[in-house]
Structure 1
Amino acid sequence: MTAVQKSLAEFLGTFWLVFGGCGSAVIAAGFPDVGIGLLGVALAFGLTVLTMAYAIGHISGCHLNPAVTIGLWAGGRFPAKEIPVYIAAQVLGAIAAAVVLYLIASGNPDYDLAINGLAANGVGDKSPGGYAIGAGIAIEILLTFFFLMIILGATDGRAPAGFAPLAIGLGLTLIHLISIPVTNTSVNPARSTGPALIEGGIALSQLWIFWIAPIIGAILAGIVYKVIGGGGQDIIGTEG
C-alpha cells in the first residue's frame, strides 16, 4: 500500500474511534431512561477498534493511536520513517471527529460545551472520579503497556489467525471499564488531542499527560515483548 493509502486509512480509522467512542459518551451515555452508561461507552470504544481492524487492518495495520505506532516501532514491528505520517493522520482524524461531534451535539438545545464537554481526558478536577495526577499517569502507563502487549501478541504470526481484532477490541473495552473513572481513559494521544482542542481550558492544559504516559507505556511494552516473545511476525499489516 502507498503512504497516501495508509494515511487515509489511519485518518478514517481514528475518526471512527473518536467519533464512536467519545460520541457514545457525549450523546448516548446519559440519555434519559435508556443511557448506555460506563459499560456502554467502554464497549463502544472496543467496537470501534474491532470493526476498523477488520476494515483497514490489511491497509495500514489499524494503529489509530500514536502510542500504538511508537510501541510497534519499539517492538521491531514498524519502520521509524513512517511514524510521523501515521501520527499526523491519526491526530487529524481525531480532531476532525471532535469537530463533527461538537457540531452534532450542539444540535441539542440542552448541550453546553462548558458543562457537557466532549469526553476529554483529565485528572484532578477533570477526572470523573477526582483522581490525582499521579494516579492518572500511573494508570495510563500501565494500561497502555498491557494494550500494546495484547496488540503485539495477538498480531504475532504464531498467534491463532483471525482473532487479533477481537482480542484488541475486547482489550480496549476492558481498559475503559477500569479507567474511565480515573482519567476518562486515554491510552491514545490522538483520542485525547481532538476533544481537548475543542474543549480548551483544563483539558488542553493537561493534554501533555495523555501524550507522555501512553507513549512511555507503549515503548516499555515493545521492549518487553521483544524479550519474552522474540519479536514475532505481524499478521494484520502493521508493516503496511
Structure 2
Amino acid sequence: MKQATAEFIGTMTLVLFGCGAAVIAGADIGLTGISFAFGLALIGMAYGIGGVSGCHINPAVTIGAVVAGRLPASKAGSYIAAQVAGATVGAAILYLIASGKGGGFDVATSGLGQNGWGTGYLGEYTMVAAFIFELVATFLFVVVILGATGAGAPSAVAGIAIGLTLVVIHLVGINVTGVSVNPARSFGPALFAGGHAIGQLWLFIVAPILGAIAAGILFKTGLLDAE
C-alpha cells in the first residue's frame, strides 16, 4: 500500500507540474522551460518517494524493471494501477486550475499537454517518426534508470541523472510527440482532451513499453552489468 501510494503521488506530481508547465506557463517559459519542469518534477519525486517505491511513476519503467529482474512481477499490477490513477488525478487537477482562467479555457483548443503527432500537432511529424522517437527515447531512458540504480552505481545522484535525462529527451522530442516515454503520463491528459488524443493514445502505450522491454532484456542478460 505504501508503494502504491508513493507511485500515485509521484505520477500525479509529474503530470500536474510537467503538463501544467506547458498548459499554464508554456507561452512564457517555452520548450526549454517545459523540458526542465518535467525533469525537475521527476528529480523531486525521486528523492521524495524513491526510498518507498523506487519512484517509477511510469508503467514503462515498471515493466522494464520486471524484465530486468529488479521488481517482482507480482507488484507490477499495483504499481501500474497507481501510476494511471495518479496521472488521471493530476490531469484532473490541472484541468480544474486551467478552467479558472479569466476569459475561459477550452480544452479542445488549448489542450492539456496531451501527446500526439501529424497534421495540426506541433512539428507535424509522421506516425513513423513519432513511434521511432518514443521507442528509442524510452529505451535510452530506462537504460539510464536501470544503470543509475544498479549495483555499483552512485545511488546518491541517481535522481539527478535520471531527471536530467528526461530533460534532454524533452528538449529533442517535444516538437515530435510532446514526449511521452510514459503511458500513464499520456493517458491522463488524453482522457480529458479526448478526440485525436484518445485515438492516438495506443502509440504512447505500445512504443514506450517495447522500448522498456528492450532495455530490461539488455540488463537481464548482464551486458551492462558493472564490472
What TM-score bracket applies, with the shorter chain setting the length?
Answer: over 0.9
* Aligned counterpart, 1:174: 168
Q: Does 1:6 align with 2:7?
A: no
**Inter-partner Cα distance in structure 1 for 2:80 and 2:181:** 14
* Aligned counterpart, 1:17: 14
Q: Does 1:45 align with 2:38?
A: yes
Larger proportion of helix: 2
Gaps of at least 5 residues in structure 1 are 233-240
Aligned residues: 224
What are the equivalent positions in structure 2 for 1:203-214 lying under 5 Å apart?
A: 203-214=197-208
* 3-state SS of paired residue (1:59): helix
Equivalent of 1:78, from 66, 71, 83? 71
1:18-41 CA-partner distances (Å, limit 9, x unpaired)? 0010000000011xxxx0000000
Q: How big is the shift at 1:205?
A: 0.7
1:66-103 CA-partner distances (Å, limit 9, x unpaired)? 00000011111111011111000000000001111001
Gaps of at least 5 residues in structure 2 are none
* Aligned counterpart, 1:235: none
The letter for the 1-side match of 2:9 is L
* Aligned counterpart, 1:103: 96
Equivalent of 1:26, from 23, 26, 41? 23
**Inter-partner Cα distance in structure 2 for 1:226 and 1:163:** 23
TM value normalised by structure 2: 0.96
- Taking only aligned residues, the RMSD between alpha carbons, in angstroms, comes to 1.0
Q: How big is the shift at 1:110?
A: 4.3
**Inter-partner Cα distance in structure 1 for 2:93 and 2:213:** 32
1:91-142 CA-partner distances (Å, limit 9, x unpaired)? 0000001111001001112421111010100011353100010000000000
**Inter-partner Cα distance in structure 2 for 1:73 and 1:220:** 12
Equivalent of 2:136, from 129, 134, 142? 142
Q: Does 1:69 align with 2:62?
A: yes
The letter for the 2-side match of 1:6 is Q
**Inter-partner Cα distance in structure 1 for 2:155 and 2:202:** 37
**Identity, % of aligned positions:** 53
Runs of 4+ in 1 over 4 A off after TM superposition: none
The letter for the 2-side match of 1:229 is L
1:147-178 CA-partner distances (Å, limit 9, x unpaired)? 00000110012112301000000000010001
What are the equivalent positions in structure 2 for 1:118-137 lying under 5 Å apart?
A: 118-125=112-119, 127-137=121-131
